[in-house]
Amino acid sequence: MVSNLSKLEEVNLLASGANWAWPQALSNILRPRGVNLLVAEDADEFVHIIHRRRIHTTIIDMDSEKSDGLATIRIIRMGYPLLPCILLTSNASEAVLGKALQLDVFGVIDKPVDMDVLRQLLNRLFLKKYNSDLFAE
């Protein structure tokens, strides 16, 4: 499959910051594919970055100490209703999944994050949204 994302186009993924090895683990998936990782600590920072840069998807940690993940997605949805969001959570209860569905979250991943599951989800997202096989194996 030929990627519709031009080799010249900058591909940016915006993720929640974390006080664990998450950003480093995520960059190990992204860097070999030429994808830039941007990190935001709270909802205001997410919106600020999305306003200034072309963001292809966000990965939001529901359990972040600095912001409520679902509230962050609600805020993003106000200005950017079509931006794909992936939610990470250590508690994928029926209530959380229902709220994620209402917010049109592309996928919910249990923590600790299985990076292969995340890569597969990113592959599905990029195929569906951008007709790109950027995350194919």
Chain segment 58-96, per-residue pLDDT in tens = 999 988 767 788 999 999 999 999 999 999 999 888 999
Where are the chain's structural domains?
11-130
* pTM listed for this prediction: 0.90
Per the structure block, which two tokens stand in for 95? 């209530």
> 52 — phi, psi (to 5°)?
-95, -25
3-state secondary structure of 61: strand
As beta bridge partners, residue 87 has 60, 108
Whether residue 40 is predicted with pLDDT greater than 90 in this model: the reply is yes
Spatial separation of the C-alpha atoms in residues 115 and 24, rounded to whole Å:
12
3-state helix, strand, coil in the chain (%, to 5): 40, 20, 40
Q: What is the pLDDT of residue 17?
A: 86
Long-range pairs, 118-122, Cβ under 8 A, ≥24: 118/26, 118/29, 118/59, 118/86, 119/29, 121/86, 122/29, 122/57, 122/86
E strand or H helix at 89, and its extent? strand 85-89
In this prediction, residue 5 has a pLDDT band, given cuts at 50, 70 and 90, of low
Q: What angle do CA 78, 73, 52 make, to 5 degrees?
A: 65
For the domain covering 11-130, report its CATH number. Answer: 3.40.50.2300
Q: What is the pLDDT of residue 74?
A: 95
